[in-house]
Amino acid sequence: MTNNDILKKLRVALQLRNEDIVEIMKLVDFKVTTSELGALFRSEDHPKYKECGDQFLRNFLNGLIIHKRGVMPRKNESDSNSDSVK
């Protein structure tokens, strides 16, 4: 299974549109356009097909976590807050 297949399956399972994926990628400061996404979702034999790299998929998954759960607070911030309360 390729990264493109994984991305396609997640898109269908989570009912995401291209605009949703662009917004998710913005959460991790990774800029992508809808036309670039279209190239990732094409069939492999299409002339404008583009292979989904590991970095793109990793950033998408990290953005998806933020999109679904919210931003996780840093350990240092919570530790420094507990010190000031004492």
Report how far residue 68's alpha carbon sits from residue 11's, in angstroms, rounded to the nearest whole number: 14
| Closest residue by Cα to residue 63 from 27, 35, 36 | 27
pTM of the prediction?
0.78
- The string of pLDDT tens digits covering residues 11-32 is 999 999 999 999 999 999 999 9
Domain boundaries, the chain: 3-85
Residue 55's contacts (CB-CB under 8 Å, 6 or more residues apart) are none
Is the C-alpha dihedral spanning 20, 26, 28, 31 positive or negative?
Answer: positive
- The string of pLDDT tens digits covering residues 50-69 is 999 999 999 999 999 999 99
